[in-house]
Amino acid sequence: MTKIIDGKEISKIIRSEQKVKVELLKKNTGITPGLAVVLVGEDPASQAYVRSKRRACKNMGILSRDYNFPPSITELELLKLISELNADAEIHGILVQLPLPKHINENMVLLSISPDKDVDGFHPQSLGKLVIGMETFFSCTPFGIIKLLEYSDIDIEGKHVCIVGRSNIVGKPMANLLLRKDKTGNATVTICHSKTKDISFHTKQADIVIAAIGKPEFITAEMIKEDAIVIDVGINRVENSEAERGYILVGDVDFKEVSKKTSFITPVPGGVGPMTITMLMYNTILSATRYSERKRLGK
């Protein structure tokens, strides 16, 4: 019988554990973890995401600062703000909501964030440390997936994991997390993408399939083996005239049919999604803890 991996419930457990760490940090060091979120433009999805982050910070006792700018902001103005946040002792995490307007170089902006405050885990230094196994910030969505598997008592070691999608946000960091010499790693990893000749050939061999390709219900029941574990990262709006909002949210997996074959599967919504913000909070608290240690040592 298929078990549904409840991302909302696991997220609540982790947030509760991390809230205790926030309280202890405040009590023992006087430091309150602080997160700065920078939003450029008025994209509704980005605005909703930022609101969710603000609520999470409030519930966990984390200082939250929002910086909202019109699309006309210049790259120089944005870089100046990030420089100020890098130097701000109250801020331990900086998140710039992507995408940015076309006239702003996203890579330049990401590079300008101090690696010590890169709680999104997108800085090349963070990703490079991940690849060679050093301590660093892990990208939030892949890190959230690792936690979903861990809290569901799913052993990753020795498993064949097929990741469908090679983005810098999910696919690539996910592969490197799974390859770590760690109790939540040591997997054999295959990455499929838009140029892969026969994706189903690879997915049908995998013990765990992670779908992050951005195509509604792309993974079908015929593409996985019996008792596989399926993690659905996708969240796609599909028009539906019967829905109140005129659309429904579906993942990259045909949940109805695929769930008949799996041992574990994540739903959409309510699976991976809640974990992304939770791990952002986790990284912000971790950053504040590291800052308190550097401060204690006079570094």
SS3 sequence of 33-66:
CEEEEEEECCCHHHHHHHHHHHHHHHHHCCEEEE
Backbone angles phi, psi at 65, to 5 degrees: -125, 130
Location of structure tokens 């600062």: 65
Give 254's Cβ-side CA count (13 Å radius): 11
Catalytic residue, candidates 18, 117, 118, 120: 120
Q: Which amino acid is at 184?
A: T
97 belongs to the catalytic site: yes
53 belongs to the catalytic site: yes
Q: 236 forms bridges with which residues in the sheet?
A: 250
Location of structure tokens 């599967």: 265
120 belongs to the catalytic site: yes
**Dihedral class, residue 112 (left if φ above 0, else alpha if ψ from -120 to 50, else beta):** alpha
- CA dist 237 and 35 (Å) reads 29
Structure tokens at 249: 């949210």
Structure tokens at 149: 């598997």
Structure tokens at 132: 């060679």
Residues in the chain: 299
Give 224's Cβ-side CA count (13 Å radius): 32
- CA dist 241 and 247 (Å) reads 7
Contact in structure between 231 and 148 (CB atoms under 8 Å) = yes
Residues labelled catalytic: 53, 97, 120
